[in-house]
Amino acid sequence: MEIIRIKNRNIVYGLLMSMILVSCHGNDLYLNKEYKTVYSPYEIKKLSVQTNHRTYFIYSKKGRIGDNYIRLDSITDSYVIYEKDTIVAKKNNTYNLIHANDSYEISNFTVGDATAWRISFRTDKFGYIIDVNCND
């Protein structure tokens, strides 16, 4: 009887640990200043981008798997960009969110039960990224 109890306890423990490990995806987010690109170890499905003047929401298109990076100066057709309730039009299937002399806060909220990661930065008069701050 004692052997069966130990086996059952180990099975329950193993199942609980596997459930925890499977649900441990996060909203990690990193920035490459040179390429104006945000990266995640996981696919990015939902981002918010707040500037001095606007707030954008970026969602992966329905039925598509999100990428693990997004170039902020040329967001591809894999994503839909909303400003308020309106879809933002793209030129040549890309959209540039980076503008000169602006401040940005980007949040990844792809995984609903994980803490959103934030990256904030400013751009100079040429549109280059400066003053990066990452808050997890």
**Global pTM?**
0.75
Number of domains in the chain: 1
For residue 31, CA distances in Å to 5, 23, 64, 94, 103 come to 50, 24, 23, 19, 15
β-sheet bridge partners, residue 55: 50
Residue 7 lies in a domain: no
Token readout for 60 is 């992966």
Residue 97 lies in a domain: yes
Asked if the model's pLDDT at residue 2 lies above 70, the reply is no
Band of residue 5 on the pLDDT scale cut at 50, 70, 90 = low
Domain hosting 99: range is: 26-135
Residue 17 lies in a domain: no
Residue 68 lies in a domain: yes
Distance of alpha carbon 63 from alpha carbon 48, whole angstroms: 20
pLDDT tens digits, 72-84: 999 988 899 999 8
Q: Which helix (H) or strand (E) holds 119?
A: strand 117-123
pLDDT tens digits, 63-118: 888 899 999 999 988 899 999 889 987 877 789 999 999 999 999 887 776 777 88
Residue 104 lies in a domain: yes
Residue 85 lies in a domain: yes
Residue 11 lies in a domain: no
Residue 12 lies in a domain: no
Average pLDDT for residues 30-50, to the nearest whole number?
Answer: 92
